[in-house]
Amino acid sequence: MLFASVILTLLWLFQIVFLQSYYQNMRSKVVLESAAKIVSSYGKDEFFDTLELVTRQDDLSIFIINSENNLTYSIDQWDIREKILPFSSVVQYRMEMINSPNRAIYNKVQEHTYTKNGKPTVNETLLFGTYIGSATDIKAMIFVYASLDPIGSTVDILRSQLYQITFIVLLLAFVISFFISWQISRPITKITKSARQLAQGDYNIAFEGGGYGEVDELSKTLNFAASEISKVDSMHRDLIASVSHDLRTPLTMIKAYAEMIRDISGEDRNRRDEHIGVIIDEADRLGVLVGDILDMSRIDSGRININPAPYEISSRLIELMQRYDALIENDGYSFDISIEPNLTINADSVRIEQVMLNLINNAVTYTGDDGRIFVRLYKDENRVRFEVRDTGDGISAEAIPFIWDKFYKVNTSHKRAVVGTGLGLYIVKNTLEMHGFKYGVDSTEGKGSTFWFEATV
Ligand code: ADP
């Protein structure tokens, strides 16, 4: 509205207030130029042509008066000679011209007249006169006359048009500004309402955009934020649920076996040792679980750092594989191990061992009934590749992108009681990424999976 008002004010100023003086300046210039043309063509063949031309072009009247003060030629557009150039005036103008340093008179005359319907008006006219010859021997006097009259009616027309334009523009400005602010503020008000709901923990609200690209963008971003917050929130719930569940199982076992030792097997050395063994195992599991959760929270808060150093992976892996001897002897697992000797990579020894154990443990957990697990370590060009393959159910293509997420567990009714937090691969992924190693999984459903990582050397 303000902008429209400023433009209209400018329009009014220029069209109405300044138009008169602007037009008059222009007319005086025309009069002076025409007079100069006439004077310079005086006495030449084209003199009368020039007179015709300038009068027609610029709407002027021209009078040429001889040395005896008689009219010899005129183009009198408005029959005004009697009025503006009576004999007495000619004599007077002649004197003024002779006395003027620039040999000319220039008059702006105001005439007070009445229009047809009786309104008083002021007509302004311009009269320019000069002479040809010398002051003592005047050959001719030339008067050029211009009326400034048409300007009055033009201003009237403009003014009445401007009234209409002003009205239309202000109305339009009002309607448009109202419409735009309504269009913008309505969706923003809605978004604000939804944001309030979001703040109160309602993650299912949808932010609606509307009309404007930016508002749409904002609502999309807020929808995304809401879904992220809701994910984090449900992750928190999952965390608490799965942590308390995972903690409760070993704790129940520990309590049960401790009671058993107290009540039953306390005196029986063999059975007591067996029960104590279970307690120790469960405590270990608790330890691993708590360790994983600590690792996860360190990864999430960015407080984890790795210290890579030359690490002789071949012999360390051979040592690590000895931990599985008991599984082979007691539980019918069989390991196919192929380790190229003397390979050294640059890695954080503690972290990379955790990664390898994690992948092997998963293979043990998820391998098929034949209990076979393949572990390979070899060098290929400038890469050292670690691979562990199992013969289990494999992972569906849809699930593969998610197995690296925290707390992700594929929902299968697995034959073996699978215990896991869904944190293992999340830690593996983050550790390998911190090392800058490539990693991945190739899996065929029903055939098994191969988890691998590669270190460049
Ligand atoms: P978990 O503690 O549940 O094993 P992980 O993060 O190690 O957690 O693994 C996430 C999920 O990926 C597992 O629940 C399992 O469904 C799937 N997965 C991991 N390794 C294998 C494997 N070798 N074969 C089949 N599925 C696997």
Mutate to test the pocket of ligand 1, among 296, 355, 403, 407 (most ligand atoms within 8 A of CB): 403
Q: Name which of 129, 143, 133 is nearest 63 in CA terms.
A: 143
Rounded to an integer, what distance in angstroms lies between the CA atom of residue 69 and that of residue 386? 123
Q: Name which of 338, 340, 377 is nearest 356 in CA terms.
A: 377
Looking at residue 411, its pLDDT comes to: 65
Q: Whose CA is nearest to atom 21 of ligand 1?
A: 362
Any ligand 1 atom below 6 A from CB of 450: no
List, edge to edge, every strand of the sheet that includes 334-339: 334-339, 372-380, 383-390, 448-456, 438-444
HSE of 55 in the Cβ direction (CA atoms, 13 Å)? 19
| Confidence check: pLDDT of 219 > 80 | yes
The SS3 call for residue 450 is strand
Distance in Å, CA 386 to ligand 1 centroid: 18
Mean pLDDT of the region 331-357: 95
- Per mean pLDDT, which range of 137-151, 156-170, 284-298 is the poorest? 137-151
Rounded to an integer, what distance in angstroms lies between the CA atom of residue 196 and that of residue 442? 45
Q: Name which of 291, 405, 302, 441 is nearest 351 in CA terms.
A: 291
Looking at residue 150, its pLDDT comes to: 58
Any ligand 1 atom below 6 A from CB of 187: no
Rounded to an integer, what distance in angstroms lies between the CA atom of residue 22 and that of residue 328? 108
Rounded to an integer, what distance in angstroms lies between the CA atom of residue 359 and that of residue 51? 108
Rounded to an integer, what distance in angstroms lies between the CA atom of residue 186 and that of residue 194? 13
Any ligand 1 atom below 6 A from CB of 63: no
The SS3 call for residue 432 is helix
Any ligand 1 atom below 6 A from CB of 428: no
pLDDT one-digit tens code per residue, 103-139 = 899 888 777 777 677 777 777 788 999 999 888 888 8
| Residue length of the chain | 457
Rounded to an integer, what distance in angstroms lies between the CA atom of residue 31 and that of residue 64? 15
| Confidence check: pLDDT of 293 > 90 | no
- Residues 128 and 31: beta-carbon distance below 8 Å: yes
Token reading at 406: 């925290």
Q: Name which of 321, 358, 312, 306 is nearest 457 in CA terms.
A: 312
Distance in Å, CA 454 to ligand 1 centroid: 20
| Confidence check: pLDDT of 415 > 50 | no
Buried b (16+ CB within 10 A) or exposed e, 274-290: ebeebbeebeebbebbe
Mean pLDDT of the region 145-165: 78
The neighbour count for residue 27, using CB atoms within 10 Å, is: 22
| Confidence check: pLDDT of 229 > 80 | yes
Q: Whose CA is nearest to atom 23 of ligand 1?
A: 363
Q: Whose CA is nearest to atom 20 of ligand 1?
A: 362
The SS3 call for residue 436 is coil
CA dihedral 332, 333, 337, 343 (to 10 degrees): -130
Rounded to an integer, what distance in angstroms lies between the CA atom of residue 149 and that of residue 113? 11
Any ligand 1 atom below 6 A from CB of 129: no
pLDDT one-digit tens code per residue, 424-455 = 999 999 999 999 999 999 999 999 999 999 99
Rounded to an integer, what distance in angstroms lies between the CA atom of residue 399 and that of residue 409? 9
Q: Whose CA is nearest to atom 8 of ligand 1?
A: 422
- Per mean pLDDT, which range of 74-83, 172-181, 384-393, 406-415 is the poorest? 406-415
Residue in the structure block whose two tokens are 């988890």:
451
Higher pLDDT: 21 or 222? It is 222
Higher pLDDT: 307 or 206? It is 307
The SS3 call for residue 405 is coil
Rounded to an integer, what distance in angstroms lies between the CA atom of residue 166 and that of residue 407? 68
Looking at residue 206, its pLDDT comes to: 84
- Residues 352 and 360: beta-carbon distance below 8 Å: no
Any ligand 1 atom below 6 A from CB of 296: no
Looking at residue 412, its pLDDT comes to: 54
- Residues 63 and 84: beta-carbon distance below 8 Å: no
What burial class does residue 303 get, using C-beta atoms within 10 Å of its C-beta: 0-12 exposed, 13-18 middle, 19+ buried? exposed
DSSP string, 81-125: HHHH--HHHHHHHHHHHHHSTTSEEEEEEEEEEE-TTS-EEEEEE
The band of 417, judged by pLDDT with boundaries at 50, 70 and 90, is: very low
Rounded to an integer, what distance in angstroms lies between the CA atom of residue 299 and that of residue 306? 11
Buried b (16+ CB within 10 A) or exposed e, 322-356: eebeeeeeeeebebeeebeeebebbbbbebbbbbb
The neighbour count for residue 397, using CB atoms within 10 Å, is: 10
Looking at residue 338, its pLDDT comes to: 97
The band of 276, judged by pLDDT with boundaries at 50, 70 and 90, is: very high
- Per mean pLDDT, which range of 8-12, 182-186, 378-382 is the poorest? 182-186
Looking at residue 373, its pLDDT comes to: 96
The band of 43, judged by pLDDT with boundaries at 50, 70 and 90, is: confident
